[in-house]
Amino acid sequence: MGGVEGSLVRDGRTGTLWYSTTAGPNGPVKWAGAEIPTDAGARENMHLFSSQNEGSSWQLHTVVDTGLTSYSSVAVLNKPPGSVGVLWETGYRQGIPKAIVYRAVAA
């Protein structure tokens, strides 16, 4: 894999690892049990993965956005317990993001 942008955070209460990243037009490949993008050049389809075993294996938790997406950040939220917030850039045109979007995702 070459140059994949993503965000990784650990929930200290549950031990869950959360990872957000994009998937390019060639689709994902298997990595540590998770689907990981093969082409970071066409950033689209923001995915959120989780791991319950310190990253030995990963599960797709949800597809956060199916459009053009780019840099992201994940943060553990206090309420509801176990949830995370995802902040990402979306809708690029001539290298400039159309918007910065936020979504809370339940565990």
With 0-12 CB in 10 A as exposed, 13-18 as middle and 19+ as buried, what is 20?
A: buried
Does the pLDDT value for residue 57 go beyond 90?
A: no
- State the Cα torsion 94-100-106-107 to the nearest 10°: 60
Does the pLDDT value for residue 45 go beyond 90?
A: no
Task: Indicate the pLDDT class of residue 5, thresholds 50, 70 and 90.
Answer: low
- β-pair partners for 89: 100
Task: Indicate the pLDDT class of residue 24, thresholds 50, 70 and 90.
Answer: low
Helix (H) / strand (E) containing 31:
strand 28-31
Q: What is the pTM of this model?
A: 0.79
The mean pLDDT of 54-73, rounded to a whole number, is: 87
Pairwise pLDDT comparison (68 vs 30), residue with the higher score? 68
